[in-house]
């Protein structure tokens, strides 16, 4: 989860306006918690750079090194194809996938802040192990520990943000998690650029992951628990005081009572998983909890995020130039995320999804075409000068398209459409599928590049076209609709109303 983003558990009635303001206290708490996104992003950004560093390859993946230096093959498409090398990158996401289920239990039982703390702790241990790695086993075990940290953070941070945020600021604060993911990726890219010049700089790249880990570890100690969690653990007095503190007003009765009511109602649903998977009324929510994280990954975004330096080297850029280009894509990713934060509540989710989709589709086609023109099927050749700049520009156009659409919105829309009774179950489906597909893409990309060659970019383009059509046909606009009214949009939507069982007397409004 990245983490995923879950709306506040508050049961605000339409038309109600809770008293209170956006206090400094809540803003600082949310910024500290959102930094959990840093560890996710740092991991995504660091591995590509490290796996293109010669001393690292020589120490741990000598066969890849021999291929890369052209000793064994002149085929550009295949020089980095190694299942062990990709396992280094993608193993983290399997660990994160499994950890997110454990984390969801810890979050409910011990609290959001303890989950953030444990995530930070395990992450720091993993980072130190990686920085000091003497053999492949240390490297992979460290990576698995980092994955546990990422899984914990992706489950707990978005939940924390949503529960702390005043409802009017929920959209913007939710997207801060994604913003920190992109900042983490950029920091990793910058670091790789410099450590690449140092002897065994890869140790610094991997070891410095401990810094964002420490930030959230300390954050986890000092962050206040959410009122929702305190109510759930029957600590009512404390919960009310906390709510007064974060809203900055004494009269929080209305919101407090709604939180209590929402908590009681959700306790009555004994099996949210069963409800989400088998109750036909929840078909749209189930569909998007499965589709959005999966489709988000098959845009091919993590091909660029993980492998930008490797990809640029594959295209024939020099070592430094490839890290520089990765740094540019990282910067563009951060900037375009601000566009989403700015526009999602103004232009609506559908508009951004579709605009981003068209931009990604065109960029993928052009990148595939440019690579085909230089390398054809044989994969022999090099890219340089103006041609190289054009390739980087179109890769940036692709990243920008993703960063203002599927990047933040896949998380945001799920958070908006899940009603409280199935929220944590839907969220776990979302986080685990995100991690699963990140693993699959991470593991499969280099081998696919080796076999499908430039066609791979056309395959991603077709996927993007398909998912944009899916959004166009099925997704109703969720902008500006109170969460409590969200269930009505399905029965009004021309696509979904066919699938919602109204004829047997069960009306969505009555759930
Ligand atoms: C995705 C990550 C991706 C990142 C890029 C996130 O929303 O879940 O897989 O690397 O965006 O900014």
Residue 226 DSSP code: P
- Report CA(399)–ligand 1 centroid distance (Å): 10
505 sits in the region (left: phi over 0; alpha: psi -120 to 50; else beta) called left
- For residue 83, count other CB atoms closer than 10 A to its CB: 11
Residues with beta carbon inside 6 Å of ligand 1?
A: 1-2, 44, 178, 181-182, 185, 296, 301-302, 305, 333, 407, 434, 438
pLDDT at 85: 77
Do residues 179 and 337 make contact, with C-beta atoms less than 8 angstroms apart?
yes
Please give the model's pTM, rounded to 2 decimal places: 0.87
pLDDT at 132: 96
- Report CA(407)–ligand 1 centroid distance (Å): 6
235 sits in the region (left: phi over 0; alpha: psi -120 to 50; else beta) called beta
Judged on CB neighbours under 10 Å (0-12, 13-18, 19+), 385 is exposed
Which residue has the CA at smallest separation from atom 7 of ligand 1? 407
Domains defined along the chain, listed by start: 23-505 (1.20.1250.20)
| Alpha carbon distance 463, 235 (integer Å) | 48
Which residue has the CA at smallest separation from atom 3 of ligand 1? 302
Which residue has the CA at smallest separation from atom 10 of ligand 1? 302
| Alpha carbon distance 360, 108 (integer Å) | 38
- Report CA(290)–ligand 1 centroid distance (Å): 16
Contacts of 506 (CB under 8 A, 6+ apart): 281
| Alpha carbon distance 121, 218 (integer Å) | 9
Which of 5, 181, 326, 436 has the most ligand 1 atoms within 8 A of CB, as the residue to mutate? 181
Which of 155, 175, 305 has the most ligand 1 atoms within 8 A of CB, as the residue to mutate? 305
Atom of ligand 1 nearest to the CA of 434: 8
- Report CA(183)–ligand 1 centroid distance (Å): 11
Tell me the helices (H) and strands (E) count for the chain, helix number first. 23, 0
Tens place of pLDDT per residue across the chain (511 aa) = 333 333 333 444 444 567 778 889 999 999 999 999 999 999 988 887 888 788 998 888 888 787 766 655 556 667 666 677 777 878 899 999 999 888 878 887 898 999 999 999 999 999 999 999 999 899 999 999 999 999 999 888 887 887 888 877 777 788 899 999 999 999 998 998 889 888 889 999 999 999 999 999 999 999 999 998 899 888 999 999 999 999 999 998 988 988 888 788 778 888 888 999 999 889 999 999 999 999 999 999 988 887 777 777 776 777 677 677 778 899 999 999 999 988 888 888 999 999 999 999 999 999 999 988 887 777 676 777 788 888 889 999 999 999 999 999 998 898 788 887 787 788 889 989 999 999 888 888 778 878 878 888 999 999 999 999 999 999 999 887 766 567 788 988 889 988 876 544 444 443 3
**Closest CA relative to residue 165, chosen from 267, 302, 57, 25:** 25
pLDDT at 5: 33
Judged on CB neighbours under 10 Å (0-12, 13-18, 19+), 172 is middle
pLDDT at 75: 63
pLDDT at 481: 74
Which of 39, 44, 92 has the most ligand 1 atoms within 8 A of CB, as the residue to mutate? 44
Atom of ligand 1 nearest to the CA of 182: 12
- Report CA(61)–ligand 1 centroid distance (Å): 27
- Report CA(431)–ligand 1 centroid distance (Å): 12
């Amino acid at each position: 989860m990245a983490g995923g983003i879950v709306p506040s558990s508050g049961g605000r009635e339409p038309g109600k306006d809770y008293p209170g303001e956006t206090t400094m206290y809540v803003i600082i708490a949310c910024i500290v918690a959102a930094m959990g996104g840093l560890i996710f992003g740092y991991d995504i950004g660091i591995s590509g750079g490290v796996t293109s560093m010669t001393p690292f390859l020589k120490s741990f993946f000598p066969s890849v090194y021999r291929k890369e230096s052209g000793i064994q093959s002149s085929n550009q498409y295949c020089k980095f194809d190694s299942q062990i090398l990709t396992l280094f990158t993608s193993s983290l996401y399997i660990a994160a996938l499994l950890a997110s289920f454990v984390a969801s239990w810890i979050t409910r039982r011990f609290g959001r802040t303890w989950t953030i703390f444990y995530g930070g702790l395990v992450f720091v241990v993993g980072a130190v192990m990686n920085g000091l790695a003497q053999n492949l086993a240390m490297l992979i075990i460290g990576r698995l520990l980092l994955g546990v940290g990422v899984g914990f953070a992706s489950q707990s941070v978005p939940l924390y943000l949503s529960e702390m945020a005043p409802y009017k600021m929920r959209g913007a604060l939710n997207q801060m998690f994604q913003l920190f993911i992109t900042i983490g990726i950029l920091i990793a890219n910058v670091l790789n650029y410099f450590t690449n010049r140092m002897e065994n700089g890869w140790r610094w790249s991997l070891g410095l992951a401990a810094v964002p880990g420490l930030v959230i570890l300390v954050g986890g100690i000092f962050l206040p628990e959410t009122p929702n969690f305190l109510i759930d653990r029957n600590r009512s007095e404390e919960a009310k005081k906390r709510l007064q503190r974060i809203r900055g007003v004494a009269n929080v009765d209305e919101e407090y009572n709604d939180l209590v009511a929402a908590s009681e109602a959700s306790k009555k649903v004994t099996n949210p998983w069963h409800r989400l998977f088998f109750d036909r009324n929840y078909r749209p929510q189930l569909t998007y909890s499965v589709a959005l994280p999966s489709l988000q990954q098959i845009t091919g975004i993590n091909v660029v995020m993980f492998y930008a330096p490797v990809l640029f080297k594959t295209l024939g850029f020099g070592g430094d130039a490839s890290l520089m280009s990765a740094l540019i894509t990282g910067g563009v990713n951060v900037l375009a995320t601000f566009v989403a934060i700015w526009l999602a509540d103004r232009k609506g989710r559908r508009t951004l999804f579709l605009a981003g989709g068209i931009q990604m589709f065109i960029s993928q086609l052009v990148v595939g075409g440019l690579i085909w023109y230089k390398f054809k099927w044989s994969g022999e050749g090099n890219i340089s000068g103006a041609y190289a700049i054009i390739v980087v520009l179109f890769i940036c156009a692709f990243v920008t398209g993703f960063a203002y659409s599927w990047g933040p919105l896949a998380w945001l829309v799920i958070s908006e459409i899940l009603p409280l009774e199935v929220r944590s179950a839907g969220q776990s489906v979302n986080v685990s599928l995100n991690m699963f597909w990140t693993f699959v893409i991470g593991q499969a990309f280099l081998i696919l590049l080796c076999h499908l060659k430039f066609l791979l970019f056309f395959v991603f383009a077709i996927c993007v076209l398909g998912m944009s059509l899916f959004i166009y046909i099925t997704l109703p606009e969720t902008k500006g609709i109170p969460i409590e009214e969200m269930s009505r949009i399905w029965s009004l939507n021309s696509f979904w109303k066919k699938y919602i069982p109204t004829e047997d007397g069960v009306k969505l409004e009555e759930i």
